[in-house]
Chains A and B, each alone.
Chain A
Amino acid sequence: MKPPAELRRARAVVRALQRLGDEALDPSLDPGLARRCLDLARAPLTVEALALEASRARGRELLSSVGVVVAQGVFTAPLEWAALYATMGLRVLLKAPRQQAETCLALAEAMQAQGLPVQASTGRDLSGLEALVAFGGEQTAVELAQAWPQARLTAFGHRVSAAWVTAPTEPSALAALALALAQDHLLYDGQGCMAPVAVFVEGERLALAEALHLALSQAPWPRGPLDPALGPLWRERLGLARARGRAWSGAQHAVLLLPADALLPRALPRMAVLLPADPAALATLPLSSLAVQGAPPPHQAPRTCLPGQLQLPPFPRRHDGVDMVECVLAAPPARIA
């Protein structure tokens, strides 16, 4: 008996993902780190998961084409979108960021080699597409809607992530938490909306900071040089912590203890910022994901996970609370997540 179309397409998609090589990596990251990120990003995109998720559209009116306006930053971000929509049988156009087009171009080529209608371009022509999934600010979403009024638009605004933890007193639990937080900070060099901009700590911050400094020092993760343009901000944040808190600086990382009013909604590569658990400060963040260990905060995020999982979203999932399948169903008007 012939397998369902979703299953056949899912197999082709997974073959394409498996054949992605170094040409798909973000050249701004250390190659070893980038390979690790790619492996982790495609791991949940299995044949079964893709086919099952795609099958949710059965019996519903599905659009035939979608453009995904891909953000510069986390280079593996388009994988799940392209994989799901190709499995659903849509024609997919990846609008690649001009400064970081490698992954989209390699992904489209790999998909096409498997007979899947996925294309990539840095061009700005999004005409003829029935759906658009875009990452950008609210004003950009409005402008996209005006530019391409025929397309069903789902736009995702700027988001950040954070962790909210109770510092364990038991040494092995402390070390385990530090290791998990280290992973959250090291993956993708702190790029993307799932990188923690702060770790809010209930209890003894000093011991956790020292444990995290140790974990970051010892983590066998390859890491590249700091983007020179970030150097001044890096030194500024480090200086602020020296004046108003504490700072631990390693060759390729830093751990800062700062008061809650020093919260900056921007992650710097491999720089962990530990703040006292302050619900009011947390509430100021436009959260994408929140890693929680111990008592949860009053403020929730669209996605909650354990420390160590911030940059490893499962599949399927709701992206910032939005159902990815519904973005390509014929229906409601534009929305901004």
Chain B
Amino acid sequence: MSLDPSLDQALRAFITADQGGFEDLALRLFAWQRQHNPDYRALCADAPAPTRWQEIPPVPVGLFRDLPLTSFPPEQARVLFRTSGTTVGKRGECRALDTELYDLGARRHALACLGPLPAAGVALVPYEADSSLGHMCQDFVPGMPTFLTPERGLDLAGAWQALAQAREPLFLPTTAFALDALLDEGPAAPLPLPAGSLVMVTGGGKGREMRRSEAELVEQTEARLPGARVVGEYGMTELSSQLWSERPGLPYRPPPWLGVQALDPATGAPLPPGSEGLLAFVDLANRWTVLAIETQDLGVVDPAGRVQLRGRLSGAPLRGCSLAAAEALDRR
């Protein structure tokens, strides 16, 4: 199964060399996916034909828990990424035939935002076969060990030891939660890392309580690991592209093949630029599933197309004979 060869080639050319126009490619990919993806076709059945990329109907990320959403027969999938599933029991699944565009795009945009990546690393991200984050990090620095495993959890002592042994610039990809835990341990004195080292912080606490705010996390990382630059990465299993920030908390920069807009949470309608809303993406690297995704993250897209994250849409109150008694116990 492959794309229309000319579209396939055009997507690759755009992602690797900026050749072509984003909107034209987005509309062509949408038309192809609607034809080959029965779930997406059903979801778009009542939607008018888009004439701009912003009009391409986005799929709520939650539907990846319930539908295959593949633009090929799902049983032919050779790649399976799963969401972490930390907030609800059922995990979302994203299937693909390959990761070619994913890998090309991830490397190119990381290079554009960060410069050359270190050749060595110490990871605090999961490497399970179904982790897209682990896949990306291992692609960036092949052979990099991880100190976060399902069997042992976070091996903080091992991570500190590996950091102490660094003799060349290091890449340290970590979730915010793992970094928070890392800073709770290790030597009290600063541990200088070789110049050019990068700490990549991604994700929040995944619903777990963190001891430090984002700003404290960055400040203390810079103080404990001098010589390393701390950058932010925003990505999700349902997207094939990532956004990078020069520093967690600052705006995130999408690649040219990723359109971003903010939607009205209530209606799903696009909001004027500069408004805070639900972030929705049109990702040309999402070749095998659906290119348009509606997230549950809030943000503002600035005139330059950069994204300021504003956290997750607060969950609606549980309905039903409810949980108010918890309030009676709260902070007694």
Contacts and interface: CB of A to CB of B under 8 A. Distances in A.
A73 B319 CA distance: 6
A156 to B, nearest CB: 6
Contact of A243 (B43, B265, B314, B328): B43
Interface string B315-327: 1111111111111
B323 A140 contact: yes
A144 interface: yes
A137 B323 contact: yes
Interface in A200-248: 225-233, 235-236, 239-240, 242-244
Contacts of B321: 71, 73, 135, 156-159, 192-193, 288, 320
B323 A232 contact: no
A13 B265 CA distance: 43
A144 B316 contact: no
A231 B63 contact: no
Considering residues B39, B268, B316, which has the most beta carbons from chain A within 10 angstroms of its beta carbon? B316
B67 interface: yes
A242 B43 contact: yes
Interface string A158-178: 111000000000000000000
A73 B320 contact: yes
Interface in A118-146: 124, 126, 134-137, 140-141, 143-144
A266 B268 contact: no
Nearest to B57: A239
B266 A225 contact: yes
B266 A226 contact: yes
B95 to A, nearest CB: 16
Given A229-B313, A243-B39, A70 B60 contact: no
Nearest to A99: B317
A95 interface: yes
Nearest to A135: B321
Contacts of B328: 69, 95, 124, 126, 134, 144
Interface in A61-76: 69-73
Nearest to A286: B320
Interface residues of A, number: 52
B167 interface: no
Contact of A232 (B38, B67, B294, B332): B294
B329 A135 contact: no
Contacts of B322: 71-73, 135-136, 158, 193
A155 interface: yes
Interface in B282-332: 294, 296, 313-332
B59 interface: yes
A91 B161 CA distance: 64
B320 A124 contact: no
A262 interface: yes
Interface in A95-117: 95, 97-99
Considering residues A191, A232, A320, which has the most beta carbons from chain B within 10 angstroms of its beta carbon? A232
Nearest to B40: A243
A195 interface: yes
Given A236-B63, A262-B66, A229 B325 contact: no
B266 A228 contact: yes
Nearest to A245: B42
Given A239-B63, A262-B66, A229 B316 contact: yes
B279 to A, nearest CB: 11
B60 A266 contact: no
B170 interface: no
Interface of A: 69-73, 95, 97-99, 124, 126, 134-137, 140-141, 143-144, 147, 155-160, 190-193, 195, 225-233, 235-236, 239-240, 242-244, 262, 266-267, 288, 320
For the complex of A and B, 8 pairs with smallest distance between CB atoms? A136-B325, A193-B321, A229-B316, A71-B324, A228-B266, A71-B322, A236-B60, A228-B265
